[in-house]
Amino acid sequence: MTKAPVRIKTLTIDGREVGAREDQTILDVARENHIFIPTLCDLPGLTAVGACRLCLVEVRGVNRLLPACVTAVAEGMEVSVSSERIDRYRRSILELLFAERNHVCSVCVTNGHCDLQSLALKLGMTHVHFPYQYPRLPVDASHERFVVDHNRCILCTRCVRVCDEIEGAHTWDVMSRGVDCRVITDLAEPWGKSESCTGCGKCVQVCPTGALSEKGKSVAEMSKRRQFLPYLTLMREARR
Amino acid sequence: MTIEDLRTIAENERQAQKKFQHHVCVCIAAGCLSSGADQVRDAIKKEVAEAGMAGEVLVKGVGCMGLCSAGPLVSVETEDQLFANVTPEDASELVRSIDTGTADLKHCDTAVPFFERQQKIVLENSGKIDPERIEDYISNDGYRALVTAITEMTPPEIVALMVKSGLRGRGGAGYPTGLKWSTVSKTGEQAKYVICNADEGDPGAFMDRAVLESDPHRVLEGMAIAAYAVGAQNGFIYVRAEYPLAVKHLKTAIKQAERLGLLGNNICNSRFSFHVDIRLGAGAFVCGEETALIASIEGQRGAPRPRPPYPAQEGLWNCPTLINNVETFANVAPIVRNGAAWFAAIGTEKSKGTKVFALAGRVANTGLIEVPMGITLREIIHEIGGGIPDGKQYKAVQTGGPSGGCIPEQHLDSPVDYESLARIGSIMGSGGMIVMDETSCMVDVAKYFMEFCASESCGKCVPCRTGTRQMLAILEKITAGEATAADLALLEELCDLVKNTSLCGLGQSAPNPVVTTLKYFHDEYDRHISGEGCPICKEHAASSAEVSQ
Amino acid sequence: MTDRKTRLATVWLDGCSGCHMSLLDTDERLIEVAKRVDVVWGPLVDHKEFPADVDVTLVEGAISSVADLDRIKVVRARTGILVSLGDCAVTGNVPALRNRFGAGAVLRRAYLENETLDAQIPRQVVPELLPMARPVHEVVPVDVFVPGCPPSADLIFSVLSDLLEGKRPTPAAIFG
């Protein structure tokens, strides 16, 4: 079977003309062209879910904001990745995340290596103007090598997806609704008792915050290694 | 099955029913059932048998008659009488006087606006036929549309008919049904699905439940016609598990239709096959959102995904999927039977046909009504609904459930159609209509709906998950009399954020009750944050303290 | 603006004093700063009452006790530009870790469970804890936020320099 030729679309992002394959998303193209669009749930190599809403962009002629991670490019599309309004929304969404659980950067294992923390800097979030919620959340250290601290989880579901799509174990999932949502292992068993977990640690490496970390790491010692993901994806595609 | 076979069944059924001099219909839909209608039916049957009138009096359980607040309802068709609040003890009186029609029971006047101002298409059989007997449905023109469609029409003709009728989705958003069908039909020959969304979840809304309980075959017929039109082979009805009677009637209906060859393989000896299955929802409001519903049928967590792709392109198991609401499907057979022009003649320019509403709250007649589009809110509330009881003042009507808005007196004359309701900040929604009088505090109402949305948010996207929680916290602060003007500003900011950045309709519309109450009842918010306090809240607090004492 | 020196105050609420240490870490640059400011109040100043007409106040620490609350209200009323200095002031940070458990649990842990001799929760002299430790801006309006645990000496110096030049700094600073 011969492959259908890939069509190329031309669009503009912030006034810059860029070319893209028709199967790419706005976020893909922006990344290729080194145009910054903030995201927390998206990670190349995993299915995009459009959950964090930080990558919302304006597209001319469309009266609502579109998530760049799941919006396919189109010919002649005019995209603005930044505006007073979008920047304000993005800061607010970040603030909502900081206020939702107990993110205390100064005592966190990923201090200095955290996507949430660095995005706050990048988007100019100086403080959180929503009231902090201070929920009481557990820490599960039952696994012999890893820890999950729900206080630092932003429910991006990268762990859920990497475990399902790359490792194929589907140990992680999400339970409950609304602010009561939690990432869980198996059917909300302690991680250490999970029978499906292979202990591969991919979830820890893709986690954007300190929610998932390796044991024995102290404050600011937990940096994440994500290089494996594009490599794995590449290998997998080559095998097909 | 041919059209002649269908006629024979209908004729036999009519003859069988004609043998009875009197038809006693007892509403056994959920509303009346909850007041013991099944016992009333059994008592009447027993009385009839004891009086030796079993050959003259037909006693049957039927679907919803509409005036739920007066249930259990019993109608005696030949005498054209309707009795309200019937008890099992009334059975003997009812049977005794059945010939004279002079029963000393509570009569329900049917020559009042509640009955006369309604126009029934969706509910035409409701309260008349036995929902558990397919023959009764067939004798009322049932399945004629399906058989006609399959034997005499091509799928494109049916799609064209739906487009021409102007029918729009009754689930709330009002997307043109014909256009949706057309999109699915154009996806080429492949596996496709038809889904009926019966995951009705708005507080106080029970339109879909009533239709499924009262006339399940109508929905199946609509789905089958849709499947034929778009080229689907399989269908699902996603209905909430909290509707056991609807599920029971649906299951019976599916079996009956399959037995007669109106569902299943090679319907009407054609190449068209259509199988319908039921899937029970586990009680998540968000599963009424189409992509979440599809995920739930697939066995996944019921969470929405971004659209596009729309289900019409990539739906259930990535196949093109037509998903419509119960009431939408219920409109299909009459349109095929009577033609697009007939349907398009009812309603307004952009909103055709009728709409079923569940009228609830502080209104004299609560229950289920079906009215032509374009009728005003005032007519619904003050004429059909009989106005506000106990001499109280009207304050607001909430349409569209947690996604809708509160409409004040000044907009009561606006017509009920998709665009007009949107213009005044509410939505048509699926048909919930809650009337409030002067004893309702509008901030409290907004808080109630926000609490609903916050706890029903699936938690996937940040603004809906935590934004609604923040809004709820502010509303709680306001009703507790602890808020300041800064809190009100923050609330308004969150309304804008959650509306514009949430992933699905639940989050995008969650601020609506707050936005409309802020717009139309701002003085009530001000009263809460000034030292003055809200007199209604104070009174409620006082009376609940009395109760607890 | 006249030649008058800027009246500068620094306040230490519920924090570890690390932000003040970081301020001192500006080292010899302090001499430059000192020429242009009058330090009218600070943790080591012996006045009992916060002075009036302060131009700039740097606040370190969260609002944890009744005393913090009283103090910040006075400070806000008498200050032109209020600066939340460091994560405790900006986010609540470590002092706010207790908010999940309540003040009672913290007091019990500190004064009863961990004490072997004459264990008792103090009721005099030590100010009463508020139910929640809160960031400064949740209690009074704040003009400038300088996050960091602690903010670096360079950051503090640049913020101070801007303020002394009459500019309103918007520091790009990282939490933690």
- Using one digit for the tens of pLDDT, what is the confidence trace for C98-151? 999 999 999 999 999 998 888 899 888 889 999 999 999 999 999 999 999 999
Domain end point (choices A54, A82, A110): A82
Residue, of C12 and A4, whose pLDDT is higher: C12
Residue A105: inside a domain, yes or no?
yes
CB C9 within 8 A of CB C79: yes
Residue A75: inside a domain, yes or no?
yes
Shortest Cα distance, chain A CAs vs residue B461, angstroms: 4
Structure tokens belonging to residue A67:
């998530």
Based on the fold, state whether residues A211 and A110 are members of the same structural domain: yes
From residue B275, how far is each of B222, B254, C142 by CA, in Å?
13, 9, 65
The DSSP result for B305-355, as a single string, is --SSSPTTTS-GGGS-EEEEEHHHHHHHHHHHHH-HHHHHTSB-SSSBSEE
* Structural domain span for residue A168: 87-239
Based on the fold, state whether residues A91 and A71 are members of the same structural domain: no
- CATH code, residues B442-538: 1.20.1440.230
CB B366 within 8 A of CB B436: no
From residue C85, how far is each of A112, A120, A198, C11 by CA, in Å?
19, 17, 45, 9
Based on the fold, state whether residues A105 and A68 are members of the same structural domain: no
Question: Domain segments of chain B: what residues?
Answer: 3-116, 142-344, 354-437, 442-538
- Whether residue B11 lies within 8 A of chain A, CB to CB, comes out as no
Look up tokens 């969404």; give the residue.
Answer: A93
Based on the fold, state whether residues A69 and A147 are members of the same structural domain: no
Residue A145: inside a domain, yes or no?
yes
CATH class of B142-344: alpha beta
Based on the fold, state whether residues A115 and A209 are members of the same structural domain: yes
Parallel, antiparallel or unpaired: strands B193-198 and B321-325: parallel
Does the structure show a pLDDT above 60 at A1? Answer: no
Name which of B66, B140, B28, B167 is nearest B370 in CA terms: B66
Residue A29: inside a domain, yes or no?
yes
Q: Distance between CA C119 and CA C66 in Å, rounded?
A: 23
Q: Do C176 and A106 touch (CB under 8 A)?
A: yes
pLDDT digits (tens, 9 = 90+) for B183-221: 999 998 899 999 999 999 998 899 999 999 999 999 999
Based on the fold, state whether residues A115 and A54 are members of the same structural domain: no
Q: Tell which of A177, A182, A183, A187 to mutate to test the B interface (max B CBs under 10 Å).
A: A177
Based on the fold, state whether residues A115 and A177 are members of the same structural domain: yes
Give the number of beta-carbon pairs within 8 Å between A and C.
Answer: 69
pLDDT digits (tens, 9 = 90+) for B29-72: 999 999 999 999 999 999 999 999 989 999 999 999 999 999 89
Does the structure show a pLDDT above 60 at C1? Answer: no
Q: How confident is the model at residue C172 (pLDDT cuts 50, 70, 90)?
A: confident
Domain end point (choices A82, A110, A131): A82
Q: How confident is the model at residue A240 (pLDDT cuts 50, 70, 90)?
A: low
- Whether residue A222 lies within 8 A of chain C, CB to CB, comes out as no
Name which of B523, B528, B524, B494 is nearest B511 in CA terms: B494
CATH code for the domain in which residue A12 is found: 3.10.20.740
Q: How confident is the model at residue A232 (pLDDT cuts 50, 70, 90)?
A: confident
Based on the fold, state whether residues A15 and A78 are members of the same structural domain: yes
Judged by DSSP in three states, A203 sits in helix
Task: Kindly indicate whether the domain formed by B3-116 is annotated with CATH number 3.40.30.10.
Answer: yes
Instruction: Give the amino acid at A47.
Output: T
Rounded to 5°, the CA angle B492-B493-B495 comes to 65
Residue of C nearest to A134 (CA): C100
The domains of chain C, with CATH numbers, are 6-95+132-164 (3.40.50.700)
pLDDT digits (tens, 9 = 90+) for B300-335: 999 999 999 999 999 999 999 999 999 999 999 999
Look up tokens 């964090």; give the residue.
Answer: A52
Based on the fold, state whether residues A185 and A134 are members of the same structural domain: yes
* This prediction's pTM: 0.94
Cβ within 8 Å of B, A 72-131: 72, 89, 92-93, 96-97, 99-100, 129-131
Domain end point (choices A55, A82, A109): A82
Residue A73: inside a domain, yes or no?
yes
Written in H, E and C, the secondary structure of C66-119 is HHHHHHHHHHHHCEEEEEEECHHHHHCCHHHHHHHCCHHHHHHHHHHHCCCCCC
Query: Residue B401, Cβ neighbours under 10 Å: how many?
Result: 29
The fold for domain B354-437 equals: Ubiquitin-like (UB roll) (3.10.20)
Query: Residue A237, Cβ neighbours under 10 Å: how many?
Result: 8
Based on the fold, state whether residues A91 and A74 are members of the same structural domain: no
Strand order in the sheet with B57-62: B57-62, B22-27, B74-76, B81-83
Count up the domains in chain A and report the number. 2
Name which of C42, C47, C41 is nearest C17 in CA terms: C42
Structure tokens belonging to residue B474:
């502010």
Based on the fold, state whether residues A223 and A158 are members of the same structural domain: yes
Name residue A177's beta-bridge partners: none
CATH code for the domain in which residue A100 is found: 3.30.70.20
Q: Distance between CA C36 and CA A234 in Å, rounded?
A: 61
Shortest Cα distance, chain B CAs vs residue A11, angstroms: 19
Based on the fold, state whether residues A24 and A91 are members of the same structural domain: no
Average pLDDT, chain B: 94
Contact list in A for residue C97 (CB cut-off 8 A) is 102, 104, 107
Q: Is the dihedral of CA A203, A207, A210, A216 positive or negative?
A: positive
Q: Distance between CA A87 and CA A70 in Å, rounded?
A: 19
